[in-house]
Amino acid sequence: MEDWAEIRRLHRGEGVPIKEIARRLGVARNTVRSALASDRPPKYERAPRGSVADAYEPQIRALLAEWPRMPAPVVASRIGWPYSLSPLKKRLAVIRPEYVGIDPVERVTYEPGQLTQCDLWFPEPRIPVAAGQERVLPVLVMTLAFSRFLTATMIPSRQAGDILAGMWALIAGLGRVTRALLWDRESAIGGTGRVTVPAAAFAGTLATQIRLAPPRDPEFKGMVERNNQYLETSFLPGRRFTSPADFNTQLGEWLVQANARTVRSIAGRPVDLLETDYRSMLALPPLDPPTGLNLRVRLGRDYYVRVDTCDYSVDPRVIGRFVDVTASPQQVTVACEGQVVACHTRSWAKQAVVTDPAHAATAAQMRGDPPPHRRSHRHAAGAAGLRRPVRRRFHQPSNESEHHVTTTATLRLSAAPADGLPSMIAYLTRVLKTPTIGAFWEELADQARDENWSHEEYLAALLQRQVADRESKGSIMRIRTAHFPAVKTLEDFNLDHLPSLRRDLLAHLATGTFVAKAENVILLGPPGLGKTHLAIGLGVKAAHAGYSVLFDTASNWITRLAAAHHAGRLEAELKKIRRYKLIIIDEVGYIPFDQDAANLFFQLIASRYEQGSVLVTSNLPFGRWGETFSDDVVAAAMIDRLVHHAEVLTLTGDSYRTRQRRDLLAKENRTNRR
C-alpha cells in the first residue's frame, strides 16, 4: 500500500522516471509499471473456501422445513454437528429466513406525551442490604418514548406493590404521566396476557392505561431495552455500592448527565425535549394511587407480621385482632382500627427479623416476667468489666421514632446494676433471636479487655460471629431441605476424566449467577460421566449462595405432579415449586413417559420459564427427547423453553464407573501374575 502510493507520487507529482523510482525503492521496474497502471492499491485476495456447514446443509434445510424456528443447539443435536456452534449459527442466519419469512418492522414515531416504556433491569453486582446479606435487586427503568428521557430506581422486589411504588416514585418525580405505559409480560403486571388487578387499579387512578407487549418481541419496547444496555455499559463499570440507597443516589446523579447527552435518533438532548413531552402529558390526580405491599392479618401470639420474607414486631397489646400492614420500599407500617401500632424501616434482606425493643418489653410485662435486674446475679465479675462500655451514650439517631426507641433502651440499660447485666443480655439476645451473641459475648468481652479493643471493634466481632453462625446454619438447612441423594461437592469431582468439560464455564456456574438470572443448565452425556455429581455440586454451591434448591429424579417429579393433579391441586403444587430458586431434574431419558406424564412435565418446565432456574441431566441428546416424552411437538416446545436462557454442557468420555472397574481388574491381574 505504502509503495503504491509513493510510486504514484514520485512519478506523477515529481516526474521521477520509472528507472529512478525502482532504484530508490528497491523494487523491480515492472512493479513500478504495474503500480502506475493500477487505479487501486494491490490487495491480497484469498481463494474462496467452503464452510464446514456445506456438507450438513441438506439436513439443516430438511429440519427447518418442518420446524422453521428450531434453535441452533437442537439443530446441532439432530444432525450430529461435531464442531463449534458459531459456523452453524451463521449458516442458520442465512437459511432460516427462507423458511420463517422476513418480518419487517416499521420505524415508529411517537407523539409528545403518548407513551412510556417500562422494564426491569437486573444489575450484576450484589448490593449489601443488611445482616451481612448481598442481593441482586431489580431496577425499574422508564423511558419517555418521545423525548427519550430516562428515569430509574432500585426497588426491593418484583412484587406488584413494590413495582407500582417504584413507578409512582418516578412518575411523581416527573410531575405528569403519559397517556400509556408499555410493559412486557412481567408477572406482577401482566404475566398471563392480561393486566393484573393491582396494575389496573394503579393505571385507573392515574387515568392512563397499561399496554402489554407481545410475547418474545423485545423490539416492541426497544428503547427501554437499549437503555438497560446503556446502564449496563455506562453506569455500572468502576462503581461500588454500599447499600440500595447508595445505588439510587449514584444512579440519580448519573441520570442528570445521561439525559443531557445527545441522542442520535432524535437529534437532540432528552432534557431539552422533556418540556414538549411534559405539555402533552396528563396531570396527576390529587390522591396517590394504590401502591406498596398491603395485607390484613390477625396478629398471632408471637406478635410478628411477615412482609416479603421478613418479620416485623407489633405492639403485643393487639394480639388476636386484625391489623392492616402497609409496606413501601422504605417503611413498614402496621395499624389496628386506624391506630398505628408499629412502624419500622423496611429491611431489604431475606428472612430478617426486625424487633422494636418497646414491643419486646411490653410482651415481657404481659407475660409477667420479672425485670432483668431482679434475676440471678451470675457472672457479676465478668459484667463489671463491661460496665463502662455499656453506660456510653449512643449516637444521636436520625429520626424521631428511632430517638424514642434508642433513648428508652439506653435509660433501661443505664439503670441496671452491673451484676444484673448477664441476665439482661441473655434476655435481650433471646428477644433479638441472636443466640450466638448470647453464647460468646462474655468470652469476646474478656478478649476485648485483654487486647484493648474499642467499643466498635467489640461490637463488630460479636456481630460477625452471629452472622457467620447464621449463614452457616442457613446453608446447612438449605442443603438438608434440597433432598439430595448424597451431598457431593464440585471440589470432590475428578475433572481429569472429562477433558471435554470447560473448566472456566464450570467455575462460572459455581458462582450461582445463573440462579440469580433465572437461567437454566443442561448436562447431556452418556451414563457414568458424573452428571448427577455435577448437578448436586452446583446445587450445593447455590445453597451456600443463599438460594433454595430442590432435587429429584424425572420419574419422581412426574409422580409428584401426577398425585397433585389427581387431587385437584396441580396449580398449587406448581406454585409451591416456584418458591424454589433452583430445581434439579435428574435422569431425563432413562424412563419413557406416556402422554399425560409428558404434559405434566411440560407444565413444570413452562411454569419455571423466566421465573426460576432448572438444572436438567439427561443421557439423550435433544434430538431423542421425543422418544422419552412420546410426542415430538411437546418435546420441541419443552426444549425451546429450556435452552432459551441456558448453558448446555455436552459431556463426552469413558464411564467413570467402568474405568474404576477396569483399573481394579487390571490391578488384580497384575497381582495374580506375581
Residues 235 and 244: beta-carbon distance below 8 Å: no
The cell numbers describing 459, all together, are: 461490637
Q: Which residue has the cell 512493479?
A: 31
From CA 265, how far away is CA 277, in angstroms rounded?
A: 16
pLDDT of residue 176: 94
d(CA 500, CA 95): 30
* Helix boundaries (H) for 234-299: 244-258, 270-279
Positive or negative torsion for Cα 565, 568, 571, 575 = negative
- Which residue in this structure is represented by grid cell 481463494? 47
Q: 561 in helix, strand or coil? A: helix
Amino acid letter, residue 101: G
Q: Report residues of the chain scoring pLDDT below 50.
A: 374-417
What's the CA gap between 336 and 522, in Å, rounded?
Answer: 51
Which of 3.90.1010.10, 1.10.3080.10, 3.30.499.10, 3.40.50.300 is the CATH number of 482-657? 3.40.50.300
- Note the helical H segments in 42-154: 57-66, 72-79, 85-95, 97-100
- Residue-level pLDDT at 150: 96
What is the C-alpha separation between 164 and 158, in angstroms, rounded? 10
CA distance 632 to 622: 10
Among the listed residues 177, 92, 133, the one whose alpha carbon sits nearest the alpha carbon of residue 474: 133
CATH architecture of 116-283: 2-Layer Sandwich (3.30)
Question: What region, left, alpha or beta, does residue 501 occupy, with left being phi > 0 and alpha being psi -120 to 50 degrees?
Answer: beta
| Pair 445, 474: CB distance under 8 Å | no
Estimate the crossing angle of helix 72-79 against helix 632-644, to 10 degrees: 130
Contact 156, 165 (CB under 8 A): no
| pTM score of the predicted model | 0.47
Nearest alpha carbon to residue 142 among 259, 288, 46: 259
Quote the CA–CA distance of 149 and 170 in Å, as a whole number: 12
- What one-character DSSP code corresponds to residue 671? H
Helix, strand, coil % (nearest 5) of the chain? 50, 15, 35
Is-contact 540 480, C-beta < 8 A?
Answer: no
Query: Any idea which residue has 441473655 for its cell?
Result: 426
Sequence letter at residue 141 = V
Identify the residue whose cell numbers are 431475606.
350
247 burial via Cβ count (<10 Å: 0-12, 13-18, 19+): buried
- Find the Cα–Cα–Cα–Cα dihedral 435, 438, 440, 441, rounded to 10°: 140
User: Long-range contacts made by residues 637-641, C-beta under 8 angstroms, separation at least 24?
Assistant: 637/602, 638/601, 638/602, 638/605, 639/71, 639/74, 640/69, 640/71, 640/74, 641/605, 641/606, 641/609
d(CA 532, CA 288): 53
Q: What is the C-alpha to C-alpha distance for residues 88 and 51, in angstroms, rounded to an integer? A: 10
- 258: cell is 445521561
Query: Residue 550 in contact with residue 580, Cβ under 8 Å?
Result: yes
- Which residues does residue 176 pair with via DSSP β-bridges, in sequence order? 283
CA distance 93 to 99: 11
Instruction: Mention every residue, 6+ apart, whose C-beta is less than 8 A from residue 325.
Output: 293, 294, 295, 296, 297, 305, 307, 332, 333, 334
Nearest Cα residue to 548 out of 575, 515, 521, 506: 515
Q: 3-class DSSP state for residue 176? A: strand
φ/ψ of 140, rounded to 5, equals -80, 125
The secondary structure of residue 126, as a DSSP letter, is P
Question: Three-state SS for 541?
Answer: helix
Are the C-beta atoms of 355 and 316 separated by less than 8 Å? Answer: no
